Chains A and B, each alone.
Chain A
Amino acid sequence: MAVIRDMIPPFELYQPAGVDDAVRLMDEHGSDGWVLAGGLDTFDWFKDRIKRPAAVIDLGGVDEIRGITGAADGGLDIGAMTSLTDVAEHADVQGRYPLLADAAGLVATPQIRNQGTLGGNIVQDTRCWYYRSGWPCYRAGGNICYAATRRSMNREHCIVGADRCVAVNPSDTAPALVALDAEMVVVSTSGERTYPAADFFIGPDIDIERMTVLEPGDLLTRVVLPAPWEGARWYFEKIRDRKSWDFSLVSVASTLSVQGGVIQDARIVVNSIAPYPVRMGAVEAAIRGREPSDETGHMAGEIAVEDARALRHNDYKIALTRNLVRRSIRDAA
């Protein structure tokens, strides 16, 4: 059978008006259903005819999960359908969670940020071009990782966390949310569950065919940010090939609680080096009680890449990760 791309096959479109309807439809259609938010990930898949759901459940009309409100404990509650522009430009986000504002503001292009949603940015699929080409790799249910061979073009792929599959998580907001210790609220017909952001993302060792805990029928509805640390310092940086639409080669998000010139607590997260945002626990432990200096950063950088292992073309990611972790401590403000 010949392959043809760039032509969306027909599907049934459902436009629920509320979360209840949406999850009921998702439950009804199971793995034949597809949830559409901003469409930036979706339409690539559809156009290439690789994902061919029978039913598309468009969340465009689900207003109850769009918008930003204050949360109970002084935090912030962000609906998953909130546009990335709205996240990046929201006064509270900019004022109290500049880390997230920065991360959301660096996604793709202004046009894509207007259209793309926070939820979509979090749950988007990997951009591994072998997988995205529709090749039957592990992630697509096959028995091979085309990206991990010695001849593969894997400049953008994993240096840690690989398990057969070497794809990376492409999200810009995901590392920021992990660094902010956000909670992900997931709704299905069986009720509501909450996951710490760090547990929301899963590696190929657990399930090689998905990147988050979400299973068919699960809908990420809200992201809840806890009150930020008092006087927290933060840092976000995204390294990419160009400033127009591009995914990160490596990104880093950090929050530091610094008191008396000493790091009391820290959350350091690096993305696009693994199939999930990598929380650098060993780094965090090592820098507690130290000054946020270049020296501490240097040490942290070295620790961050201790377990890193390069593929054929991505050794630079080791240096980049080391340097970004270093900066995320040294230059946090």
Chain B
Amino acid sequence: MAENVIGTDISPPDLRAKITGRARYAEDFRAEGMVFAKLLLSPMPHARVRSVDTSRAEAMEGVLGILRASELPLQESGIGEAALTDEPKYEGEPILAVAAVDETTAAAAVEAIRVDFEQLPFVLDPLESLREGGPDARLDGNVGGRPEPLTIKWPDSVFDEAGPDRLPMGEPAAEWTIGDVDAAFAEAEVIVEETIVHQSVTHHPMEPRSCMAYWQNGKLFLHGSTQSTERTRGAVAGMAGVEPDDVVFIGEYCGGGFGSKIAGVPSMAIPAVMSRKIGRPVMLRITRYEENYIGRARAGFQGWAKMGFRADGRMTALDLYLVQDGGPYGRASDFSTAATVATATYQPENMRFRGVPVYTNTPPRSAQRAPGGAQIVAMLEPLVDKGARELGVDRLEIRKINAPGHDGWLGQNQAPFTSAYVREALDLGGELFNWDEKRQLSGQRNGTKVTGVGIGLSPFTAGSAGRDGLLVIRPDGKLHVHQGIGNLGTHSISDTARPAADVLDLSWDDVVIVWGDTSKHLPFSTVQAGSQTTHAHTRANHAAATAMVGLLQELAAGELGGSPADYRVADGRVFRAGNRAAGLSFAQAAERAMARGGKFSGEVVPEDLNDATKAAVAGLAGQGLIAAARDNYPREGAVFTWVATFAQVELDIETGEVEIVDLASSTDCGTVMHPRSLAGQTNGGVFQGIGMAKSQRWVFDPKWGIPFTKRFYTARPPGILDVPRSPRFAAVNLPDPHTPVGAKGIGEPPVGAGEAAYVCAVADAMGGMCLCRTPLTSDMILAELEGRPRPYGLLDTHV
């Protein structure tokens, strides 16, 4: 019997190449005759291109072509963004691209281009745009709507009534209610309310979205950095104006995406189209500077929350208003997700949500690791602590009181969960952190340092279903797991293959992962977003492996006689039960399958497969024993993962500096697939979240609308020196009953947990003072402690 690989630590197949530097990322590829492209970025936050004079650039030796917005097959439409534009809506938005024999020439050519801009009104602060007469980020409106943008303006009285430090709350764009909030507040034992703010922050993946493209015989070959593989091909095809079959997308490694490279990125269009235009392979190396403009960002909030509690700590009412800073394009839905996540955290008996997603002339937003979820828990958790203090309820206890159980519900429609071991996770984390003792340290003073402890509980969606698995047993006897998912650094390409090995009772050494190149025949997959992958593709590969077992049994019965049910599969063999010798090795099975054809070798495929999978199988047909299956496992309810992080900090009251002394996290993410990777994912997310509160910033000059945090050192995401050496981690490790493997995703919820735990611990060290905003940097803390003027207004953004 092969050892089960689910739940064990196995080095992923890409690890050695990454560590030794042999892994080739998009920027590392070269092609015969390859040239370089450089971008001309908008110098203004909102403008219209009147005219462009490229004559000097075109006259330069080595300049091969200039690509304008009008030449792109996929152009800006409505709120949709394109790779290039003639109406830039943020400073740094690409206007055109120049291709030249080398980057030095291309850069010099960009400098030689003269663009005549017409300045247009711009806005950075959503509240400014909501004022009567305030500027709009877009010419067609200021608020996200469907299908067209809306224009929402609030009368001055709304702002006057609110004053400078309280959120003005005029007409919302979205609103829903559960129960009767006002009645619940009337009966509440304790009511807390605060203005809450969460900053927008850029994604900062280590690998910028560089991309290289060339055309051969009408087919586009594109090397890019993406979170997903199979799903990126279609997106690239759309950008290039060709059919998906005419695109070969290659992206075996991805230096991080965090939601900014879900299924391709708009800038991939530039080398793709430029290459076709000039007839040469084109490399577009995106620099760190450019990455900070086109690399996406998390939507920020200016908000207000009011909570009512019963004496026992149960949250009876939550009233939430969120103004979203959504950048200039699309419909960042963070604000509505935030409300949903709030329900998954507290199950408020009554709730009202109002929100207005405002467009701003700042770089585009996209999902960023727990979009909406991280923000809302970081803003609300300290408020819950405030309620707990007033009620005299322990802070761990109040979270357990309000957390959902298996009978919990989610969101406006109060949908069920597939599983929710939240209290178990809180208990586990509490034990790991030693909450009962640590909470006694709260407020303890040692010299100039005051200890604070805090908890952050963070739920997020954790899985989808209905994708396809595709397995091939080749004549070498190896099981080839074809993965359409991307390799975004989470190990999911190998970890989601584990169920296949376990179902087939196969040694992991005999498993080959096929990934990262659409010419390798990859099945229909989920996008690597929303922490869907672990859940979705353990299911899909489980389904495919189950189908494979069936095929092996049928094949063996056909070859060796008897009924398929007489056969077992283990250790790379299919054999008659009780007689290992009477059977076929996988290598033999592959040979026989190829000889038999039909459903064994991919000539006939299940009807319910996605077309992309069918095409992949067709491409592989005849190469071995092929099993492809759709995940048809039943599932009722929303798949959610919860992470609880516990933080202990020391706040220096003379400097405002905060040192994280201890961190412990626990999770309910169902069955643990890969313990070491799970801990890495969780701790990494926790650090990322802490960074958003502690040091990271996205500062703009309000007069010019230009950001300064375009480098790591000015944007200040946390580094390895900023976190404790040994953060602790544990998982409940109870399977989700609605999936055969029991696994749920983990990518996103740790972010909010870490951030909330940090913010709560700081508030605790400050005697419970709730700042309920991020960033929460030492200057702000010191100003509060010293009673000096606040560095920024409570509602200020981009500070």
Contacts and interface: CB of A to CB of B under 8 A. Distances in A.
Assess A/B contact in the complex (Cβ within 8 A): yes
Interface string B699-719: 111111010100111101011
B657 to A, nearest CB: 6
Interface string A246-258: 1101000000000
Contact of B110 (A4, A152, A315): A4
Contacts of A3: 41, 43, 111
Contact of B722 (A155, A237, A242): A242
A9 B107 contact: yes
B287 interface: yes
Nearest to B703: A151
Contact of B104 (A9, A244, A247, A323): A9
Interface stretch (B211-219, B549-557, B776-784): B776-784
Interface in A1-47: 1-7, 9-10, 44, 47
Given A7-B107, A319-B786, A324 B655 contact: yes
Most-contacted residue by chain B among A130, A149, A320 (CB, 10 A): A320
A323 B654 contact: yes
A318 B788 contact: yes
Interface string A286-321: 000000000000000000000000100111111110
Contacts of A237: 655
Nearest to A112: B713
A153 interface: yes
Nearest to B108: A9
Contact of B701 (A153, A249, A327): A153
B361 to A, nearest CB: 16
Residue among B38, B110, B656, B713 with max Cβ neighbours from chain A (10 Å): B713
A48 B107 CA distance: 11
A246 to B, nearest CB: 7
B738 interface: no
A6 B714 contact: no
A239 interface: yes
B716 A241 contact: yes
A244 B280 CA distance: 41
Given A6-B289, A242-B716, A129 B782 contact: no
Interface string B715-728: 01011111000000
Contacts of A155: 779, 791, 799
Given A313-B792, A319-B786, A4 B107 contact: yes
A245 interface: yes
Contacts of B778: 239, 241, 249, 316
Q: Which of A4, A9, A239, A244 has the most CB of B within 10 A?
A: A4
A327 B447 CA distance: 11
Contacts of B110: 2, 4
Given A153-B799, A324-B655, A242 B695 contact: yes
A326 interface: yes
A259 interface: no
Nearest to A4: B110
B235 interface: no
Given A315-B783, A319-B786, A241 B701 contact: no
Interface residues of B, number: 57
A244 B721 contact: yes
Contacts of B792: 313
A7 B107 CA distance: 7
Nearest to B721: A243
A4 B57 CA distance: 14
Contact of B38 (A4, A129, A245, A310): A4
Nearest to A317: B779
Contact of A2 (B111, B702, B703): B111
Given A6-B288, A130-B701, A241 B695 contact: yes
Contacts of A151: 701-703
A10 B112 CA distance: 16
Given A3-B111, A243-B722, A244-B721, A316 B783 contact: yes
Contacts of A318: 788
A67 B204 CA distance: 38
A94 interface: no
Given A10-B104, A244-B718, A319 B708 contact: no
Q: How large is the interface on A (under 10, 10 to 19, 20 to 34, 35 or more residues)?
A: 35 or more
B16 to A, nearest CB: 24
A201 interface: no
Interface string B89-120: 00000000000000110011011111100000
Task: Please classify the interface of chain B as helix (H, G, I), strand (E, B), loop, or mixed, using the class held by over half of its residues.
Answer: mixed
B40 interface: yes
A1 B779 contact: no
Which of A47, A246, A247 is the most central at the interface, judged by chain B CB atoms within 10 Å of its CB?
Answer: A246
A195 B510 CA distance: 71
Contact of A320 (B656, B694, B716): B656
B789 interface: yes
A2 B788 contact: no
Contact of B655 (A6, A239, A243, A314): A239
B789 to A, nearest CB: 5
Nearest to B56: A1
B655 A2 contact: no
A136 to B, nearest CB: 12
A323 B655 contact: yes
A60 B711 CA distance: 26
Contacts of A7: 38, 103-104, 107, 287
Interface in A44-72: 44, 47-49
Given A246-B713, A316-B783, A6 B287 contact: yes
Nearest to B113: A2
A313 B796 CA distance: 12
Nearest to B785: A319
Given A153-B701, A316-B779, A320-B782, A1 B111 contact: yes
B397 to A, nearest CB: 34
B289 A316 contact: no
Interface in A151-205: 151-153, 155
A4 B694 contact: no
A105 B140 CA distance: 54
B701 A315 contact: no
A52 to B, nearest CB: 11
Given A2-B40, A4-B40, 18 more contacts: A2-B112, A3-B111, A4-B38, A6-B288, A9-B107, A9-B108, A44-B711, A133-B706, A151-B703, A155-B791, A239-B657, A241-B716, A249-B778, A315-B783, A316-B778, A316-B779, A319-B786, A327-B654
15 contacts: A1-B111, A2-B110, A2-B115, A3-B111, A7-B103, A44-B711, A48-B289, A130-B708, A153-B700, A241-B778, A313-B792, A316-B779, A316-B782, A316-B791, A319-B788
Interface of B: 38-41, 43, 103-104, 107-108, 110-115, 287-290, 448, 654-657, 691, 694-695, 699-704, 706, 708, 711-714, 716, 718-722, 777-780, 782-783, 786, 788-789, 791-792, 799
Q: Which 8 A-B pairs have the closest CB atoms?
A: A244-B719, A6-B287, A323-B654, A129-B708, A243-B721, A7-B107, A316-B779, A242-B695
